[in-house]
């Protein structure tokens, strides 16, 4: 299993080899020295970084995750150990958990390439099983804002 020095390791599927992790100060303060990226090769690393940062830079998955946390952090309780699929698109996914830390948000993000169909379905089920995930689906489908 791939692990990161900072981040939500329990949320990383076993077959994921390239992953970004971070420990944010709640609700969404991303600290440069509390991040890690583990990659199986340079190509996978570059692809993950491109998805996380976006084009133009600052418009990718990390920015979208932080925007959501700024607006909705009250929905992720600091006193609970509960996983949330916070951001997902066709290319990748970001999962979070406070680990009942009362002040940190532990994050893991990876590209979906190489995931089995059962892993993808399990992640969809986790997302659909939470209020946050259902809100994500509504927004992705152009629903309520």
Q: Structure tokens of 127?
A: 């997302």
pLDDT of residue 138: 66
**Sign of torsion, CA 58 8 33 78?**
positive
User: Beta strands 35-38 and 19-25: pairing type?
Assistant: antiparallel
pTM for this prediction: 0.77
Averaged pLDDT score across all residues of the chain: 86
Share of the chain above pLDDT 90, in %: 59
Instruction: Delineate the domains of the chain, giving CATH numbers in brackets.
Output: 9-140 (3.30.450.20)
Q: Is 94 exposed, middle or buried (0-12, 13-18, 19+ CB in 10 A)?
A: buried
Query: pLDDT tens digits, residue range 56-102?
Result: 888 899 999 999 999 887 888 888 899 999 899 989 999 999 999 99
Residue 114 has pLDDT above 80, yes or no: no
């Amino acid at each position: 299993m791939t692990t990161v020095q900072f981040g939500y390791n329990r949320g990383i599927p076993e077959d994921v080899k390239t992953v970004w992790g971070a420990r944010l100060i709640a609700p969404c303060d991303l600290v440069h020295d509390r991040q890690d990226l583990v990659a199986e090769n340079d190509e996978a690393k570059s692809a993950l970084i491109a998805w996380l940062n976006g084009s133009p830079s600052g418009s990718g998955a990390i920015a979208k995750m932080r925007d959501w946390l700024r607006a909705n952090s009250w929905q992720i309780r600091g006193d609970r150990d509960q996983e949330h699929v916070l951001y997902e698109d066709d290319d990748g996914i970001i999962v979070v958990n406070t680990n009942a830390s009362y002040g940190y948000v532990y994050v893991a993000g990876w590209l979906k390439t190489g995931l089995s169909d059962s892993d993808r379905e399990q992640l969809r089920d986790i997302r659909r099983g939470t209020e946050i995930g259902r809100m994500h689906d509504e927004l992705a489908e152009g629903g309520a804002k």
